[in-house]
A = this chain, B = another copy of it.
C-alpha cells in the first residue's frame, strides 16, 4: 500500500503540471477517458456485478438499504449518461484563464486577475460509482488534480473505472496521470482530512451524515451541504393555484432531493389552508402538524405544516430551522416578496417558484459540482467556476514601491478593456 503522503505529493505535483495543459489537451484527455470507458464497459459491468452480488447479501442482512443498492447498480442507461456526461464537460467553456480584471496601476505596470485552478481536490463519495467520472471530468476541465475515495460497497466498480481513467491518461503524450488517484483505506481518509498542506478542497458526495462527519473533521474547506431543509411560505396574498402546484411539485417531484420542501408555513390569514392540505393529501403527501424537529429532512412524501402569524415569524422560522439552501414565498404582494427575499439568509430565495429549481443544470451552468450552503467561496448550485480561484499577474518594467511611497511616482489605477 502506497503511503498517503506520497499520493498527496504526487497529486500536488500533477496539479502544478496541469496548469500548463491547454484547453485542447484537457478536452483531449476527457474524450480519451470517454472513449476508453465505452470500449471497456463490459469490464465495468462485470466489476459492478461483483459489487452487486456482495451488496445483495448486505441488503438481506439489513446492512445497506435497497436505495443504496439501487444507486450502486450501473445499467446501460447510467453507463450511457456517464459517457455522455464526460463528453458534455469537454464541450463546456474552460473556466480557467478567464480575465476577471485588467488594470493599469501606472504606466507599464499592468495588473491582471485571472481565473486559476484551485489545486488538489479530495472527493469522498458513497455507493454511486458514476460519481468518479463525473467529478474527475469537472476537476480536470478546471485544471485540478483529484484524490478519490469511494464507498467500499462499490470497490470493484470504482477500481475498474479508476484504472480505465488512469490508462486513458497514460495513453496521452506526457500527461501527468497522477492528477487522479484512488485511495481505499479508512486511514487514508483520515489523512486526507488532515493534510491541508496538500489538499485544497474536499467535495463529499453522499448522505447527510457523511457530509456532516467530514465538515466536523477537517479544516480544509468543504464544498457541499449536509441537510436540505427547504421551506415554502404561503403568504396571506398567495394565489391558490400557485400555492398548491408549487407545494406539491416541491415535495413529490423528487422527494429525496435536497431541494425538496420539508416545511410549509402558511399565513394565518391565507383563506385556502384547508384546500392546500387536501390537495397535498390527494397528491399522497403526509402532513405532520406538530413535528418534534423542524430541522429534520424527511426525504419522503412528508411535510411539516405550520401556521404563522406574520411574514416576520415565517422569516425567523426559516433562518432558525432552515439549512440556508432554498426557500420560496408564494404571494402576489411584491413588498412581502421583497421583504422575504431580502431577509431570508439562504443560497436561493424564490418568489412564486418551486424550490426544486435549485440545480446547476436548471440554472444553466452546464454542469453541477454540488450545491453549497457555505457562506464563503461558492453558494447555491455550483458550476465549474466553483472549482477555480484566481491569481494576480503583475507585469512591470522594473518598478519599485519606494518611488510611490516617496511620492516621486503616482498610481493611476486605470481599468483596461478585457
Contact = CB atoms under 8 A, between A and B. Distances in A.
B353 A413 contact: no
A343 B402 contact: no
Could you say how many copies of this chain the assembly holds?
2
Interface size bucket, A side? 35 or more
Interface stretch (A124-132, A176-184, A390-398): A390-398
Given A319-B16, A363-B392, A376-B221, A398 B352 contact: yes
Contacts of A319: 16
Contacts of A242: 397-398
A177 to B, nearest CB: 19
16 contacts: A15-B345, A103-B363, A105-B357, A105-B363, A111-B363, A200-B375, A241-B398, A250-B401, A347-B392, A352-B398, A353-B399, A354-B400, A354-B401, A357-B396, A376-B377, A379-B391
Interface in A360-388: 362-364, 374-381
Nearest to A363: B111
A380 B111 CA distance: 12
Contacts of A254: 401
A379 B375 contact: no
Contact of A413 (B241, B364, B392): B364
A357 B400 CA distance: 8
Nearest to A364: B413
A393 B349 contact: yes
A119 B253 CA distance: 33
B109 A376 contact: no
A352 B19 contact: no
B362 A404 contact: yes
Contacts of A337: 395
Interface in A137-166: none
Is chain A's interface secondary structure helix, strand, loop, or mixed overall?
mixed
B105 A398 contact: no
Interface pairs A-B: 6 shortest CB-CB: A353-B396, A249-B400, A364-B413, A356-B401, A242-B398, A377-B377
A408 interface: no
Interface in A1-46: 15-16, 19-20
Given A118-B376, A119-B345, A356-B401, 18 more contacts: A16-B319, A16-B343, A109-B357, A111-B363, A119-B375, A215-B219, A245-B400, A246-B400, A351-B395, A352-B399, A353-B396, A364-B413, A375-B389, A376-B378, A376-B389, A377-B377, A380-B391, A380-B392
Contacts of A111: 363-364
Contacts of A246: 398, 400
Interface string A234-257: 000001011001101110011000
A79 interface: no
A20 B343 contact: yes
A323 B313 CA distance: 48
Interface in A220-278: 221, 239, 241-242, 245-246, 248-250, 253-254
A320 B218 CA distance: 23
A363 B192 CA distance: 36
A201 interface: yes
A401 B345 contact: no
A268 to B, nearest CB: 23
Given A219-B216, A375-B118, A347 B396 contact: no
A287 interface: no
A26 to B, nearest CB: 14
